[in-house]
Amino acid sequence: MRTVQIARQMGASEPSVRRKLARLLDEGIITVRATADPAALGYAAPAYIGLDVERSEIEAVAEFLSQYSMIEAVAVITGPYDILIKAAFHSTSELYNFVLHELTKVAGIKDSHSFLVLRSFKHTGLEGVANTD
């Protein structure tokens, strides 16, 4: 949304909205980013993987997994898993190799539970200001 549109909706002046937006960007409170559609880039096997991890190793495992380029998100969560990762693979074979060969190398992971995404209905991240014109 353009800053002039935001100003109109808020009943504020466009220069004040632009200054506020600049401050939020400068302080790192918000960022502008592009989100690609993994399927359009050839990632035919997106997946979520829930991990059971030794309690003392949770943060180390999360930090280590964050280094993999195919992993989009790593989160420590509540519920039946300790860590949930969202990843994009080119094929189910690539997912298979990751689960059986890569994850088994990571100290502290006790078990994994993979969920292949059949169809994604939303892949945009959080809504925000993307255009500062």
* Confidence at 125, pLDDT banded by 50, 70, 90: low
Q: Which are the contacts of 88, defined by CB distance < 8 A and separation ≥ 6?
A: 38, 41, 43, 45, 46, 47, 70, 72
pLDDT digits (tens, 9 = 90+) for 1-20: 889 999 999 999 999 999 99
Name the CATH topology of 38-116: Alpha-Beta Plaits (3.30.70)
Q: What is the pTM of this model?
A: 0.72
pLDDT digits (tens, 9 = 90+) for 60-114: 999 999 999 999 999 999 999 999 999 999 999 999 999 999 999 999 999 999 9
pLDDT at 1: 82
Instruction: Report domain extents, the chain.
Output: 1-33, 38-116
* Confidence at 40, pLDDT banded by 50, 70, 90: confident
pLDDT at 43: 86
Of 109, 50, 116, give the one whose Cα is nearest residue 85. 50
Q: Which two tokens stand for residue 35?
A: 């989100």
